[in-house]
Amino acid sequence: MNRIKKGDEVVVLTGKDKGRRGNVIRIMDDNRVLVENINMAKRHTKANPQIGIAGGIIEKEMPLHASNVGLYNPATGKADRIGFKVLDDGRKVRYFKSNNEVVDA
C-alpha cells in the first residue's frame, strides 16, 4: 500500500512550487507522482498533420518525487505524515500521524 494514492490532495514540500496544493493525477513506477497544475513545463512540439497534432508550445505537468509532497490534512490545514494501521475488522488503512485520524474511511 502506498502512502499517496491517485486522487489524493497533496501539498508540495520543496522546489519552485513549495506550498501549492493539487490533486494527484497519476502514480508512476519509480516513486514519482504527477500533480495537476504543479511543476509545469513548456514543451515545443512540431505539427504532424497526418495524425492531426497541432504544433506550438504546450504546457504540461512534470512528475515530482513522492518524498517532495505530503498528504493534505483538512483538520490542521497543512501537509501531514502518513502511517498505516489495521482496524478491528481487518482492514489496513492510512492515518494522519498528527491527530490519528483515518484517511481511508
Give tens-digit pLDDT for 67-83: 999 999 999 999 999 99
List of residues 6+ apart from 10 with CB closer than 8 A = 4, 21, 22, 23, 24, 33, 35, 69, 70, 71, 72, 79
List of residues 6+ apart from 19 with CB closer than 8 A = 11, 12
pTM beyond 0.95: no
Cell of 53: 497534432
Predicted confidence (pLDDT) at residue 1 exceeds the cutoff of 80: no
Predicted confidence (pLDDT) at residue 105 exceeds the cutoff of 70: no
What are 4-53's pLDDT values in tens digits?
A: 999 999 999 999 999 999 999 999 999 999 999 999 999 999 999 999 98
Cell of 98: 498528527
